[in-house]
A and B are shown apart, each in its own frame.
Chain A
Amino acid sequence: MAKITFLEAIQQAQAEELERDPRVFMMGEDIRCNVFGTTTGFVERFGEERIRDTPISENGFIGAAGGAAMVGMRPIVDATLSSFLYPAMDQICSIIAKSRYIYGGQAKLPLVLRSCMFYGNSNAAQHSDRPYPMFMNMPGLKIICPSDAADMKGLLKSAIRDDDPVMSFEDGTCWMNKAEVPDDPDFLIPIGKGDIKREGTDITVVAIAGGVNVALKAAKQLAGEGISLEVIDPRTLVPLDRDLILRSVRKTGRAICVDPANRTCSAASEIAATIVEEAFEALRAPVVRITTPDTHLPFSPLIEKPLYPSVERIVSAARRLVGAVEFQSA
């Protein structure tokens, strides 16, 4: 066990799996120069054949990861920012997500497509996306979006060993968070299993990616007022750990879904719908979504920051849900 950051967890997971399996290799723009610290020492250790800088051509190298995977390699692609996935929508959605299905199970695509969601830093609309919900709507892509270093490491290792394509959405607001992370080379967190980050009794808060840390702060603050939040991190969006979420809601009778993505068809929307369909009888109040509203992200910092889910928004929603203030639908 050692206390490491989220970024160091990514570095460790990749290094261990590159070490373990010669079929694993990495591709991405400017990965050799190690801009973010996730490929430290890789070129020296694994060589330039396995640590490949690519031209700026996402549809090309992301699609090539699919082709390499079909013939038995296990590529890890670092797409840098999630916004740069869009030029590769063709290969991701038409080839990577569908080849296993369309060819009746003949094609295997064990690849990992990593990207960082780099929002909240005045990078304007073309660089600030949190686009996992778009890919949740595309069958055939597993999706992980952990919020702490240990989960990041264990899930990324599972993703690299998984025989299906896995997209890893890494929240930039979590990069510097530190946690105790096992150094056992077989430390794995199963894809599809959520985690209760804080136990509570009054309201279930299902939070996604960086939203988890915001929810935990809100929970701490509300504990002082006698409102007890149970904070659940699904960690994986596809497949989603519905049982864990529903069990918690059946206990608390109330739910808030916190999601840094845009509201419409967000992960929060899917989770809220699941709760309403499956645990309606347990609900004592409407299910609330706290998301980024359906606007783009502006450059100007004072108007960007308030758009994301915040402690204040969670706190006031929680107060309303437990009846501390009159309920009005948001």
Chain B
Amino acid sequence: MDIHLSGAQATPAERAAIDALLGRPTSRWRGGDREHAADSRYAHGGQSARARRHLLLPALHAVQDAVGHVTRGAVDYIAQRLTVPPADVYGVASFYALFEMHESPPTVAHVCDDVGCLARGAGELIASLERTCGPAGSPCADGRATWKRSPCLGLCERAPAALMRRAGEGRTDATLAPATAGMVHDELHGTSAPTRVMDSVPQRGESGLRLLSRVGVVDPTSLHDYLSHGGYAALAHAFLLGPEGVVKEVTESKLMGRGGAAFPTGVKWGAVLRASALPHHVVCNADESEPGTFKDRVLMEEDPFAVIEALTVAGFATGATMGWIYIRGEYPEAHDRLAHAIAVTRREGLLGDNVMGRVGFSFDIELRKGAGAYICGEETALFNSIEGYRGEPRNKPPFPVSEGLFRLPTAINNVETLANVLEILKGGSEEYLKLGLDSSRGTKLFCVAGNVTTPGLYELPFGATLRELLALAGGIEGGRALQAVLLGGAAGSFVTAEDLDVPLTFEGTRAIGASLGSGVVLVFDDRVDMRAIVRRIARFFRDESCGQCVPCRVGTQRQEEALGRLCAGASRAGRDEALLLIDDLDRAMRDASICGLGHTAAVAVQSAIRKLNLFAVEAP
């Protein structure tokens, strides 16, 4: 392969940003290495430079952060340094919403217009922003800033939300929630707005909490604090049990994945432990982009050392030497907390060679940041993203346990799943099994948002009813009537007041044709325009489809159009035609798409049509 460059030159700022990541090129050969300092003799253009392709996404972030967009010169320079063809660099960069491929102002406000925020005033916020700063994408503040619409930012409990991104030296990203149009306007004009502090965890400090027990109790930047609250007891116990023992304990606990697919974690770990190809990898899936979901963010922000410890346990149990945390790009605070926790644990011998004194157990963690792509939460898309390819899901089989990250045996788990492992090891699986119902054991985090009195993250044993959960959140705000609850996120479905007694378990929700998904409980009162909500969901899938397979790439587009016709008030014949199309699309996407995004792209839409009877014909 020959790298053909356009001749565009990277600016000094772009080079500096890329060199800061990759190291300065030590030879005049392309791809000069960051690992081999003194190299002037041989070219790194070959295998060894290509093996660094996984640095492509971090390199693109470096450029975006430095100058606010990805230029031709920067693409060429990255291509040269990593021996990745410029077309490939471009193909990857243009896949992500957070990379600007055209000249763009250094300050950008990403304003959430997704379902949770729509229920809490995002529509008004955006309308007012349009008046003061112009339409989305137009320059404001003398061309130094702009704002854009964003899908869910994972801040729904404090809706409406915005994410401020700033490029240039000394840059910082920051979230703004709850946000007002005035605050966003001020931030765009360089005067930082005062933030209102709001509690994301109303149960904070209560006894009986497990996954949330340390939230608000420990200092999330202090390893010492974590250790004095039971930190690293789980890893110590894991060392006593040995890898097989840990897998056995986790299997017996019946722990099921909390990322949405509810797969038994013990089975997954056992398969990786036994896999013969080496080395093994463990991955913590912190992409959390399902609209309405914010649980993993809270855990990472408030209890980051627990995430590190849990991933280390997973590494020990599966015989892995390398762990990865893939966090969505919209979580600056959680990212920094994790980065800090990794640095501290590494310094204290809790990562690296002979972890915590265990001779022969070497394990380290890399933190990787997504760049605005829901699909990268799908496990195989996530692998491709880390590896420096477009975040397109792979066909399964082969499954990650045999061919995952870098085509090696990989155990990938959601943040909340991993948090449960600490509880299981500390208390034993027998104790763990005491909580819950049916095969849904332990406790569950619920992301309660929308029109409730006290939105926030709640922890309850599996089996509590939806009614109980809503009561805990203070009921519907202002005593209004409940219109609908979106259970499980955009990939989940709508339920109504008649379903309030459903036990919140995997089985219970399945029995009413819904799903627990990622624990989203998004509440809509009787004022919310549900048609707008459903259209937003259809738009979400159209925006987030990776575009690889026909049923989903074109199907999500056609679904949005058909829904648009329904909302525009079609004739009876037109309505029936559109409903039939949506049915047909649903079946094809469910049956023939490659991944879960396509499989579920019509689920919420269908449940809105059926359950909420949104497009009923008016009586003549």
Partners in one complex: no
